[in-house]
Structure formats: C-alpha cells, structure tokens
A and B are shown apart, each in its own frame.
Chain A
Amino acid sequence: DAKTTQPTSMDCAEGRAANLPCNHSTISGNEYVYWYRQIHSQGPQYIIHGLKNNETNEMASLIITEDRKSSTLILPHATLRDTAVYYCIVRVATSYGKLTFGQGTILTVHP
C-alpha cells in the first residue's frame, strides 16, 4: 500500500469548511484513497473513498488531483462533533487484508 503524508494537526472554526490535505505521491493505478476518522475513545469510522473522480456523500467531499498524487477531504460546514483524528489511507479496493493507519491529522473545531 502506498504511503501517505498528512499534517499533524489543523484547526477550523465551527460552521466553516475544513479542508484536510493528504499527499500520496507513490499511489498506484489500482489504489483508492480512503478517509476514516476517529473520535476520541471510539472506533474509526469510514467517511469516503475514491479512485480518481471527485466524490461526495452526506458526510464529506473528496477531491483528488488529476495526477492522483494528492487529495483533500472537505467537511463543508464543520461542527464541534467533527473534532477527531482523520486518517488518509491508500490501498487497493479489497475487503481482504489489513487496513494500515498512519498518524493522521488531529482536527480541532473551535466554537
């Protein structure tokens, strides 16, 4: 699985958009970009994933650059409950095998 690089921490004001970047310059053609988050003392939660097109669901949007070497997770209207550690993971789309988590980005949403 390709390695990812994320900022250690970010801040965001409540109600504003939170844009979380992820670099994955060694991504392969068959690898997807996944985002998970982990709220304190809970298990990680799946947010969104994509291959090369931008994706949107009820939780977030995922923007992947044309060369696929980086991506941005967007929480359009951050709330205090979005304060969490956000993990960007790159891997092939299979249910088999482990999910490898890096250190992630600690997002703090302020009132």
Chain B
Amino acid sequence: DVKVTQSSRYLVKRTGEKVFLECVQDMDHENMFWYRQDPGLGLRLIYFSYDVKMKEKGDIPEGYSVSREKKERFSLILESASTNQTSMYLCASSFESGYTFGSGTRLTVV
C-alpha cells in the first residue's frame, strides 16, 4: 500500500515560531499537496508540487511556504506561526487519478 506519512500527529507551537510540517511518500509519486481543514470550511489547498523543486500556489498560500528537495518529501513551512493557522494539516500524493492522504497533523498555535 502507498503510504503518506506526516511526521507529527499533534503539534503545539507559540505565536511567531517558525514551524515545519514534514510529509513523506513511499511510492515515487510526482505530485504532492498540502491542505488544511477547518470546521465549516472543508479542505482547502495551500500549495502543491508536481516535481522536485517545483511548487504551485493553491487557494490559500498566504503565510505558508513549501520545500521539495527530494521527490518523496514535501515540507510545509509556517514562517511565523499565528493563531489563525491553528488547523488540521493534511498532506497527499497523487497517482494516476487517485490521491492518498496522510493521517494529518493537528497544529495548535498559542
């Protein structure tokens, strides 16, 4: 089975901290995605990448950046965490026409 692994299940960070969320997939997929999920707003795309060192903005990129130095790893970076970035963060990779998601990282910014 394809696995998408997110490094942390739960994180608590302070306002202003730089936060790294890591995601690794083990099936050589080219495309990887970062979403956030909030009650009443559903899943919203932050950034995606279709190749190493390539990235595209999603619907809500403000306050975030990403890094894709290796094909299997896609990192989401919160340059200066704020309380409105408290959310569930989901990483996904895509194959043919389907997507596999990680289990999510619940980030709380205090």
Say whether A associates with B.
Answer: yes
Interface check B61, CB cutoff 8 A: no
Alpha-carbon separation in the docked complex, A19 to B59 (Å)? 32
Query: B106 to nearest A CB, angstroms?
Result: 8
Query: A109 to nearest B CB, angstroms?
Result: 22
Interface check B50, CB cutoff 8 A: yes
Query: A55 to nearest B CB, angstroms?
Result: 13
A contact residues, range:
20 to 34
Known: A101-B42, A102-B42. A46 touches B98 (CB 8 A): yes
B contact residues, range:
20 to 34
A11-64 CB contacts (< 8 Å) to partner B: 32, 34, 36, 41-46, 49
Alpha-carbon separation in the docked complex, A32 to B98 (Å)? 11
Q: Which of A32, A49, A98 contacts B33 (CB 8 A)?
A: A98
Number of A-B contacts (CB under 8 A): 56
User: Could you mark each residue 74-97 of chain B with 1 if its beta carbon is under 8 Å from any beta carbon of chain A, else 0?
Assistant: 000000000000001010101111
Interface check B67, CB cutoff 8 A: no
Interface check B26, CB cutoff 8 A: no
Determine chain B's interface SS by DSSP, over half rule.
strand
Alpha-carbon separation in the docked complex, A43 to B4 (Å)? 10
User: Is there an interface contact between B43 and A95, defined as CB atoms closer than 8 Å?
Assistant: no
Determine chain A's interface SS by DSSP, over half rule.
loop
Q: Which residue of A lies closest to B99 (CB)?
A: A99
Q: Which residue of A lies closest to B59 (CB)?
A: A98
Interface check B38, CB cutoff 8 A: no
User: Is there an interface contact between B97 and A101, defined as CB atoms closer than 8 Å?
Assistant: no
Interface check B30, CB cutoff 8 A: yes
Pairs A-B, 8 closest by C-beta atoms? A43-B101, A93-B97, A95-B94, A98-B45, A101-B43, A46-B98, A44-B101, A43-B90
Q: A34-B97, A46-B100 are in contact. List 7 more A-B contacts (CB 8 A).
A: A41-B106, A43-B104, A44-B101, A45-B101, A95-B31, A95-B95, A99-B43
